[in-house]
Each structure stands twice: as C-alpha cells, then as structure tokens.
Structure 1
Amino acid sequence: MAAGGRSSGRPAKKKGPSKGAGGQGRRGLEGRGATPPAEMRHWYKDKARTERIAREERGGQRRPAAPRQRRSDDAPEYIGGRNPVLEALLAGVPANALYVAQRIDNDDRVRNAIKIATERGIALLEATRDKLDRLTEQSVHQGIALQIPPYDYAHPSELVEIAHDAAEVPLIVALDGVTDPRNLGAIARSATAFGAHGLMIPSRRSAGVTGGAWKTSAGTLANLRVARSANLTAALREYRDAGLFVIGLDGEGRTDIGDVGLLSEPLVIVVGSEGKGLSRLVREHCDVVARIPMSTAAESLNAGVAAGVALYEVARHRRR
C-alpha cells in the first residue's frame, strides 16, 4: 500500500544480488603499468641534480652545453671542482666567496679550501647543488666553487716593462683567434713554466680570463699578467717598434721553430687557432712564420700544446 493509500498496481521488486560489472572494475584497478621512478617524471624538481650526479659518476662526461652567452666585463667568474679550487687558493688567486654545497662529503681538499678561505677572509657561503650548477654553467663542480672578481687586464706595454724590471730578455705570447678559455689556461701554464713575461689577447673574438681559463691554468694566471688590446696587429707593430721580433706559429711555415735564429732575442710568439691558424694581417706583421715539425700522421697540434713546444725551444736556446 502506498503512502497515499493507493496501490501502484505493480508487484514490488524482490531484493537480490545486483548484476556484475563483467570484470571491468577489476581491469580499471590494474593501472597502466609500473609507476615510473621519480627522476623520470617531467615535474620532478631534482631532475637536474640527478642528471649531474650521473655525469659525475661517468667521469665528468656531459651533454654538449648550449652556446655560452657573453658575460659583461664586470661580471664575476667561478672556478668549480675540488682540485682547481684548492690550487687557485694555494696560488693566491683573488677571490670574493667560496660556495660549498649543502651536506657535502668532506675530504682533505674541501677542508683545506675552507681553512685557506677563512684565513684569507673570503666569505664562506652554503649553496644548493642546483645553484652551483647555475654558477658554474653546468660544469663538474664536485660541490664547491670559488667566485673570483673580473680580471684586471694590463696594457700591452706593461709586459715589456715586467721583463725590463726583471733584467731579462722579453718573451711575450700573443694569441690570434684562440677562443677556447681552456686553451688560454693551458698556454698560461706553459708560459709560466718556460719564463714568459705575459700573454696578450685581442679584445674581440678571443678567449678571456674566465673561470675556465683559471681552472685549466692550475693557478698560474695568478703569477702571469695578461694584456688585452683592441687591435692585435697594431699591438704587434708597437712591439716591433720597441725592438721585439715577432714569430708566428703556423703549420704552413717554412722554418722549423728550432732553426729560427732569433730565439735568444726579445720575442713575441704568436699562437694561431687550431683550425684557421694565423690570420692574414697577423702573418704580415711577423718577422718569421715557423712550424713545429711532426709526423705526417698528425695534421695539427692543439694551440696549448703548440705553444708549449715553442716556448720550450725558446727556453732551451736561452739556457745555452
């Protein structure tokens, strides 16, 4: 009987088991495969850190970096890596701050770097791994980075004055088209080892004294002055007017570097780029264009290696 006292005329339905879903609900609960690891999810905030750790475990190998944007001349530079940072501090490289990663695994290099920085009054700052990645432009930093001020370049004439003040025969290395800071750092290391009085680089289309150059130089840039000129050929002309001879290194030179008769004289050694060698204008301002004799199996030498061989020959002749 209905609430109003009238019958609906239809028999009431009996309660019983409902119709099954045919297994559809069970299949819906099965999911779509295993849950992916956190680092494979596009929103994972530590994805860059995970990739960096993987690079370091592979021995520092990394994907090719994006083209580096040119820094302003007054921007600080950063040296990353435990050995390079410690070498820079031991060499007395000027520095503003030492960044150390949170929860870093300390070793003797980190402890010594912190000790030296504290003694020199360099600020100690804690940083995340992501921040260190940004500061060092994704290079392998091993949880530590040193901030250095912009380099104070010398005038080309100051390099000659350094040699005269030391009562020595001037030896200067000029770079023509060397755009890799690591080559500049390697050349600085050889120049320091073999008694050069400084490096000269052009203002444009050339590597500068950056964090990469400091790192490769193993701190030797702290003891070697680098001059910069707006016009390389004009600077070479001024060196010649001051009594220096200019020797250009190029694979197409006709004279072996060891056979050049000017190696005991006041010299400027010009190192060209590995690909193009010396530019035409620079070649025209050289007194001699010399080559490094080598096996025909090798087409050319890295600019840093070529500079080291040439400087060794100069040092060997001057010791006689």
Structure 2
Amino acid sequence: MAMALLWAVGVSSWGCLGRHLARHFSRAAGREERPGGEELRRLLLDDLAPTPRSERGQELLFGLSPCLLALRAARRRVARLLLQAGRSGLQGERAELLRVAEARDIPVLRLRRQKLDALCRFQVHQGVCMEVSPLKPRPWTEVEEARPGDDPQQLWLVLERLQDPRNLGSVLRSAHFLGVDKVITTGRNSCPLTPVVSKASAGAMEVMDVFSTDDLAGFLQAKSRQGWLVAGTVSCPGPEISPSSDIPITSCLEFLWDRPTLLVLGNEGSGLSLAVQASCQLLLTILPGRQLPPGLESLNVSVAAGILLHSICSQRKGSSGERKREHLLQDPREPSTTSEGPGLAQHPGLSSGSEQERQNGS
C-alpha cells in the first residue's frame, strides 16, 4: 500500500513538473525567446541540463579528452584536477594528464566515483574532472583578417542560434576534423561554450578558434564585399524558401569550392533567419535519396554539417579525394604517381585495424 502511494505521488509530481515545463516553453515560444521552438521543445531535459559547476562556482570540465586538451591549449585557468579514487597505475592519456598537472603545480584531488558523479550531474566523466574558468567566444573583430587572394580555399563555418549543446559540440568536432579554419557564432540566442559542449566535441572546443558577433547579417555582408562567398544552407527546397527569392539553390555535391567561403548553418528548428538568408549569395542543400514523408525532409544540424563540410573539404588540394580524382583521370598507360594506401594509413582519423587484420592473415 505504501509503495503504491509513493508511486502515485511520484506520478503526480512528475505530471505537475511536465505541465510547468510545457507552460514555460509555451510562453517562451510566444515571446520568441527560443527560435525554432517546436523541435527544441522536444529535446529531453538532460539535453539542456545546467552547466556542471564546482562547489567554488567554477565550471567543471569533465571527460578525459576535454580535460587533457584544455591543459595542452592552456586557454583556461585550472584550479584543481579531480581524479577518481581507486584507479591505480594510471597509464596513457591519464598518466599524461597527471604529469602535465603536476608540472604546472595544479592541485590534484582524488574523489570517490559517487562524488564525481554528483559533481558532474551524472554526465559521463571517465573518472576525470577539472575545475576551470569559463571559455567564451572571442569577438569577431579579433579575427585576423585574411584576404581572399591569400588562399582561395579558406573555409569558415558560421552558426546562427544553435542552442542544443550536443549539436554544437558535434558540429565543432566535425569542423575541427575536416579542417575548418574558423567558427563564428551569434552572440545572442546561442548555446554558450559549456563543458557539455566540450565533451560532445571530444575536446575539439578547447583548441578551436571560436568567435561571435551580435550582427551576423552585417558580418556576412562585410565579408561578401571583401570577396568571400557567403553560402547559406537549407533543407530540400520548400516553403522555407520565399517564392520570390532569387538566391540560387545548389546541391552540395555540385558546389565548386574555388574561393574563400563562409558556410552558414541555421537554428535547429527554424533554420536561417530571413535577414541572414538575404545576406547569402548561394544556398546549399542535401538532396534526399528517396521520397520523404512530411517531418523527415530535413537532417539533424550536426549530421547536415558533417555532410556539407565533407562535400566541400574533399575538394581541398592535397586531400585524399583530390588524389583519388587525379588517379581516375590519369592515363592508365602511365605509371601511377599517387598511392591511396600510404595516404590512408597516415591519416590521423583512421584506425589501423585493417592493417592489423592483414598482418593476422584475415
């Protein structure tokens, strides 16, 4: 009987909480505080969890890669390194983490797993946390001016009002992996650079150049006048594109990267704002492989970012894609001047598992 009563109270409390959250997001959407509200309202509560903070009010960075890369980059002030107690004989990256912390006279504290779990709000910390100062985007005015003639294959990624920390982290990870030069975010209505973002980016956030602007349309127009191509992104051509718009829409597979480019991605739910879309010279889209029902005609923003960036960056001179195209165009009677094998084996993002399988005779 007691268990049934507790269960009923729990359900009632959760129902009240759910109604409260629904009213909160409904009012916020009415005030247009959260652009793209419908998709964002469907996010799980833990996707928008509060930023983990230490007992002294600093941010609590968690996860092996974020902590190690933060130490290497030395962009943050580090108050303490927190390690899970009971892990004897630290090896590999954990041993390096401890060595770097001790070399910089950073206090090291060993805590029980339960204490680390509570401090991190039960995020996946891998037994490693650090009390650190916040990391914030720099004003875009601090960007070192790069003239279009310096390098025709410069690529900056511009993010308008991304609000899900895991989406932002995944986008930053792909951008860093694929060779994006700089990232620009909007100063308002955007997710800050939190520890959750750093963990989702596998620490890429700690080493990337991230800038922000409060006047994105003005920034894009200024870069356009300097000779940059401003390429926005849209889902399959549909109602979000004004019928009177004269901005050409091109499949990302047909895009030719022949000058410095700003690739602009929009909010998770509403895409690009009208002002930003009007500042674009070209709109890129990812064409689906089949007829799609309503509601599935667009991709998650982090997935779309990976596809778009790869389709552009594969055109970079010296990339494996460029070498492959040269190989296909080469006269078969001439000796080959490129080799896919060494190029792939040396790529830092690829596993050496296939080489190990060959050695084992599989």
1:115 shift after superposition = 2.1
Query: Larger Rg: 1 or 2?
Result: 1
Q: Distance in 2 between matches of 1:67 and 1:219?
A: 19
Q: Distance in 2 between matches of 1:70 and 1:143?
A: 18
Aligned residue runs from structure 1 range 130-279, under 5 A? 131-159=115-143, 161=145, 163=146, 167-169=150-152, 170-253=154-237, 254-261=249-256, 263-279=257-273
One-letter amino acid of the structure 2 residue matched with residue 248 of structure 1: G
Among 278, 285, 293, the residue aligned to 1:291 = 285
One-letter amino acid of the structure 1 residue matched with residue 289 of structure 2: S
One-letter amino acid of the structure 1 residue matched with residue 59 of structure 2: E
Contact persistence 1:248–1:271 (CA under 8 A): yes
**Gap change, CA 1:159 and 1:307, over 3 Å in 2:** farther
Identity percentage of aligned residues: 28
Tell me the C-alpha RMSD between the 2 structures: 3.2
Q: Distance in 2 between matches of 1:241 and 1:235?
A: 10
| Residue deviations 1:18-47 (CA, integer Å, cap 9, x gap) | xxxxxxxxxxxxxx9xxxxxxxxxxxxxxx
Q: Distance in 2 between matches of 1:260 and 1:310?
A: 10
| Residue deviations 1:165-214 (CA, integer Å, cap 9, x gap) | 99434321111231122222222222223322211111121112111222
Moved more, 142-151 or 92-101: 92-101
Residue in structure 2 matched with residue 316 of structure 1 by the alignment: 314
Stretches of structure 2 that go unaligned for 5 or more consecutive residues are 3-43, 238-248, 323-362
Q: Distance in 2 between matches of 1:110 and 1:134?
A: 21
Which is richer in helix?
Answer: 2
Q: Distance in 2 between matches of 1:236 and 1:259?
A: 23
Among 72, 78, 87, the residue aligned to 2:60 = 78
- Matched position secondary structure for 2:314: helix
Q: Distance in 2 between matches of 1:95 and 1:220?
A: 18
- Matched position secondary structure for 1:150: coil
1:248 shift after superposition = 1.0
**Gap change, CA 1:67 and 1:309, over 3 Å in 2:** closer
1:223 shift after superposition = 3.3
1:91 shift after superposition = 5.9
Residue in structure 1 matched with residue 302 of structure 2 by the alignment: 304
Among 271, 276, 281, the residue aligned to 1:282 = 276
Aligned residue runs from structure 1 range 84-95, under 5 A? 84-86=66-68, 88-89=70-71, 94-95=76-77
**Gap change, CA 1:188 and 1:294, over 3 Å in 2:** same
1:164 shift after superposition = 5.0
One-letter amino acid of the structure 1 residue matched with residue 165 of structure 2: P
One-letter amino acid of the structure 1 residue matched with residue 175 of structure 2: A
Stretches of structure 1 that go unaligned for 5 or more consecutive residues are 1-31, 33-62
Residue in structure 2 matched with residue 100 of structure 1 by the alignment: 83
- Matched position secondary structure for 1:65: helix
TM-score (norm. length: structure 2)? 0.61
Q: Distance in 1 between matches of 2:149 and 2:84?
A: 43
1:119 shift after superposition = 2.4
| Residue deviations 1:73-110 (CA, integer Å, cap 9, x gap) | xx743332345434554566645021123444664253
One-letter amino acid of the structure 2 residue matched with residue 228 of structure 1: S
Q: Distance in 2 between matches of 1:106 and 1:302?
A: 41
- Matched position secondary structure for 1:188: helix
**Gap change, CA 1:192 and 1:250, over 3 Å in 2:** same
One-letter amino acid of the structure 2 residue matched with residue 168 of structure 1: D
**Gap change, CA 1:302 and 1:89, over 3 Å in 2:** farther
Aligned residues: 255
